[in-house]
Chains A and B, each alone.
Chain A
C-alpha cells in the first residue's frame, strides 16, 4: 500500500504504521482485532480514525504506545515514529518514548486519574521523571499547565474526586501536553461528557494544537465531530481500514458502502428532516481487500457493486443495525 505518501500537513510523517496486525490470542481461538492496517500522520496533522465499537480503533492507539496487555499480541507490521522503530524499543527507551514523544488522552478521564494523589502530584511526577526538574520548578510548570487549560492553579492541591468531569478531562489534556509531545492520541476524549462540555474540550484541543503544533490521532465514533476537526481520516470496519481520504472528501463523497452508512446515520442539524439510512439488517463485509486509490489521495477498499445495492436501505426497512439514531429516524 502507498497510503503513507499522502500525509497532509508536511512531507515528513511523524508516525508511520505499516501492515499492523494485532491479535487477541485465546486458548481455543484467537481474534484479529487489527488486520494489516497502514496509515501515516504528518507533522501538525489531525488524523481521524472512525468506526463502530469493537472495530479496533482503541487497540491501534494502545499499540502505538505499546500499552497492550495479554492476551493481545502484535502479530505483524511495523510502527515507526520519527524514524525510530517503536516495536523494537527496549523497556527503558520505551519509557522515555512514552509521554515525551507520544502522549494520550484516554476514553474515561473519570478513571484515568489516581484517586489518592492530588492533581499537582500527578502532573509533577511527569516533570520529575522525564525532565528531571526539581519539585518546585515542576510545581510552577504544573500551575502554568493548568492555566493553559483554564483551570485555577489552586486546583493543584485538589484530588480528582473534587473536580467536575469536564475539569478532570481538561486536567488530563493538560498532562498530555506537559512535555510538548509531537503526537497526541485522543481516544474518544469526550465520550463520557455532555455536549456542551464536549464542545469546550474540543475547542481547547484545537487551540492547544494551534499553539503547540503537535500532530493528533483522533479516535471517535462521532462522525460529525471528526469531520469538523480532522484534516484527513480513515474509516475502520472489523479491524480493516475501508476508506481513507481528506475529511472533506469523505464528508461530501463517501465511497465505501460502510462509510456511506456511517455518514448516513447522523442527522443534519439544519435543513429539512430526512430519513436516516444505515447499514441494512445483517449486512456484513468479509475479506475486505487492500485499499486502492480512486481519486488522488482518496483510497477505498474495493467492494462488489452488489454490496452498495443491498447495503443501502431506507430507514423504513432498517433494523437496529448501527445506530440508535436510526430508530428515531424511523419513528418520525
Chain B
C-alpha cells in the first residue's frame, strides 16, 4: 500500500511537470493564432472581434504567472478552451469525438499484437529450432521492416480495391447512425479489420522476438530443470514456470504501448481515412491551434502516466521481489 502511494505521489509530480512544460512550450513558439486567423479571414475582422478572440483563446498579454494560474484552474475544471481550427467547438468536444475511435483502433491492435506475439514467442522458445521458431521470426521481421504507409496502402489496394473484401475508408459506412445495434457494431468491426491488421503485422514481430529471447534465457534457469525433474505437466512448466517469469519485460512494454495508443496512429488514420487523434494533432500543429494541441498533449501525457502507474501496480502483483524493496 505504501508502495502504491509513493508511486502515486511520483506520478502526480511527473504530471505537474509535464503540464507545466505543456503550458510553456507553445508560448515559446513563434507566431500567434489570432493573427493567423486574422490573416485567414482576409482582414474581415473588426478590432473588437480580434480582442474578443484573444480573450476567448487565452492569448492575452497578461503576465505569464497569471496565465499559468488560469491554465491550472482550467485543467482542474476540465475546461481546455475552444479549438481554433474547428472554431468554435470546445477542445474537449473535439477530443471526445475522436478518442473513442483511436482507443478502439489502437487498443485492438495493441492487444492482439501483444497477446498473439507473446504466445508465439513462448511457443518458439519452448520448441526452440522447431517450425514456429525457424519460420516466423524472419518472416515477421521482414514484414515489420516495410515502411508502414507502404504496407498499409498495399493492403488497402489488395483487399479493398482489387478483392473488395474490406471497406475503403472511414470507421463506419457513411450515412449509418452510430448506435448500439448489431448492424452498426458489425459495420464498425468490418471497417476496423484492415487498419488494425496492418498495425498488428508491423508490431507483432517485436513482441514475438522480445518474448522469445527472454523466454530462452528463462528456460536455462535451474528452476525450469527442477520443474521438469518434478514431473510436472509440460503446459504448467511452460506457462507457470517459464512464461510467468519471462513475461515481466513484456508487461512493461505493454503498459508503455497502452499509454501511447492515445496519441493515435497518424499514418493509419491518413491511409484509411480513419477518424482519430493522430490526424487531429497534425491539424492542430499545422493550424497553430494551441488549445487543441495543449488538450491533446495533456490527454496523451495523462494517458502515458496513467498506463505507467497501472503497470507499476500490476508489476507488484506479478513479481513478489518488487514488493520487498
Contacts and interface: CB of A to CB of B under 8 A. Distances in A.
B231 A97 contact: yes
Interface residues of B, number: 22
A116 B236 contact: no
Among A99, A108, A112: residue with most chain B CB under 10 A: A112
Given A114-B241, A116-B244, A116-B320, A100 B231 contact: yes
Nearest to A185: B229
A111 B229 contact: no
A59 to B, nearest CB: 13
Contacts of B230: 98-99, 125-126, 129, 175
Query: Which has the most chain B C-beta neighbours within 10 Å: A97, A116, A129, A159?
Result: A116
A114 B320 contact: no
Sort A-B residue pairs by CB-CB distance and give the 3 closest, nearest first: A98-B231, A111-B222, A112-B226
A98 B226 CA distance: 10
B231 A99 contact: yes
A138 B226 CA distance: 19
7 contacts: A65-B229, A95-B231, A98-B228, A104-B229, A106-B229, A112-B226, A172-B226
B210 to A, nearest CB: 18
A96 B232 CA distance: 9
Contacts of A65: 229
Contacts of B233: 95, 129
A98 B233 CA distance: 11
Contacts of B245: 114-116
Interface of B: 221-223, 225-233, 236, 240-241, 244-245, 318-321, 324
A103 interface: yes
A87 B227 CA distance: 20
A161 B231 contact: no
Nearest to B129: A70
B321 A113 contact: no
A302 to B, nearest CB: 37
Interface string A119-142: 000000110011000000000000
A97 B320 CA distance: 32
Contact of B231 (A108, A116, A129, A162): A129
A106 B226 contact: yes
For chain A, the bracket of interface size reads: 20 to 34
Contacts of A67: 225, 228-229
A112 B225 contact: yes
A162 B244 contact: no
A116 B226 contact: no
A108 B222 contact: yes
A65 B230 CA distance: 10
Nearest to B219: A69
Given A111-B221, A112-B223, A159-B320, A125 B231 contact: no
A316 interface: no
Contacts of A94: 231
A117 interface: yes
A214 to B, nearest CB: 15
A106 B222 contact: yes
B232 A162 contact: no
A117 B223 CA distance: 11
Interface string A173-195: 00100000000000000000000
Given A111-B223, A112-B225, A161 B320 contact: yes
Contacts of B226: 106, 112-113, 172
Contacts of B228: 67, 98
B81 to A, nearest CB: 48
Contacts of A97: 231
A98 B319 contact: no
Interface in A20-55: none
A100 B229 CA distance: 10
Given A96-B231, A113-B223, 12 more contacts: A67-B228, A94-B231, A98-B228, A104-B229, A107-B222, A114-B227, A114-B245, A115-B319, A116-B318, A129-B232, A129-B236, A161-B324
Given A67-B225, A106-B225, A106-B226, A115 B320 contact: yes
A96 B245 CA distance: 25
Contacts of B244: 114, 116-117
